Structure 1
């Protein structure tokens, strides 16, 4: 007999994503296909950004969007900022030091395809033009870990 012991922090799958967000996923995908910015979530780490190294450092911290709330404490920054999947630097999780070598500038985003105004824009110009906000998010991975973290960036719909 297989006995499953759930962890105290485990939640039901139906609680991971609010139902309204789940049902609006098709609207979101239609927007992306219709020419919205085809970008993933852009985030910045203001704690490590220095103005002379990072032209976007002055944009942070940003105002928190109070719509996004959590039902648990934030994950410790020391854990959230070092546990990652940068497979370019190795297949283990403790590679945050090696990942610091990842060049983030110059970085440009190309917007093309089914759009009215194809363009290439550098990340600093893009961030300066977008309505930045902080959201509290709960991330869950298929590898059975989860984190609750603040995220700073802009909505894909913008």
Structure 2
């Protein structure tokens, strides 16, 4: 693609040794012929200039309720999830529906692997250097029909591997959704790695969505199905608490959660008693504001 979100490359933006080794591992696992034609030779750093959190912080403090509600539960239990082989069903209002393996997806697209330094935020925040590609690339591959207005996502549901689904915390399987223009925005990515390494199970292996201007629960993990539709899809947290979790779930410090303020956040890595910092509108990604021109973002929360 010719589009580059922030074309301010420096020497620090070239492929690191870790990323190079990760690429070699992918080639070995998925087949050299398929992957060498799909992956570019350059890696772009996009998003925030903030210093990323450490790999340990990113992979040990997670929300992934399929493995438990504690922040350390995913890191403790997610190793049980089998992530290879893995397929994603893409259906609905697309020209080329089908069931695609991760190797299929990479082989059928001409993409350049990139690093995205994105902030994620809930009541806490961290900066994650994701490896991945724009979700729009995948949508272009399958061909979006003109009647499509939304994209629905579904997480794997494997009770034998996911101990958390034994508890009715949510209506399993986990589902999420985006408006089509949100899904097509260059900041919306599918992540396959962190810090040049394959994405760990607790962070959503082998393929997860990342939508950096929305609260973290919108970035669905371990995706097994993507459906293009003409109607707004149901989402797990909205079903669980419609007065607390709206469909859009954009980061908006002016709209409080009914049970707590969202005006400030705590950065992971600074200690529990670290000074809280102001939460930024759209998590600081002002580039997406035009997607919501004319909308009441207090009503459409």
Q: Offset at 1:62?
A: 6.8
Q: Counterpart of 1:70?
A: 48
153 and 138 in structure 1: CA distance in 2 versus 1, 3 angstrom threshold: closer
> Is 1:141 paired with 2:121?
yes
121 and 101 in structure 1: CA distance in 2 versus 1, 3 angstrom threshold: same
69 and 113 in structure 1: CA distance in 2 versus 1, 3 angstrom threshold: closer
Distance 1:86 1:48 in 2: 24
Distance 2:131 2:99 in 1: 22
Gaps of 5+ in 2: 6-17, 138-301
Q: Where in structure 1 do 4 or more consecutive aligned residues deviate above 3 Å?
A: 45-52, 56-63
TM-score when normalising by structure 1? 0.56
SS of aligned partner of 2:82? coil
- Greater share of strand: 2
SS of aligned partner of 1:111? strand
SS of aligned partner of 1:98? helix
Give the conservation status (yes or no) of the 8 Å contact 2:120–2:128: no
Q: Counterpart of 2:77?
A: 98
126 and 152 in structure 1: CA distance in 2 versus 1, 3 angstrom threshold: same
Q: Offset at 1:77?
A: 0.7
Q: Counterpart of 1:55?
A: 29
Q: Counterpart of 2:132?
A: 153
Aligned residues: 112
SS of aligned partner of 2:118? strand
- 1:19-58 aligned within 5 A: 51=25, 55-56=29-30
TM-score when normalising by structure 2? 0.32
Q: Counterpart of 1:115?
A: 94
Q: Offset at 1:76?
A: 0.6
Q: Offset at 1:92?
A: 0.3
Give the conservation status (yes or no) of the 8 Å contact 2:40–2:112: no
Q: Counterpart of 1:126?
A: 105
Distance 1:81 1:61 in 2: 27
Distance 1:61 1:80 in 2: 26
- CA RMSD in angstroms comes to 3.4
Distance 1:93 1:79 in 2: 11
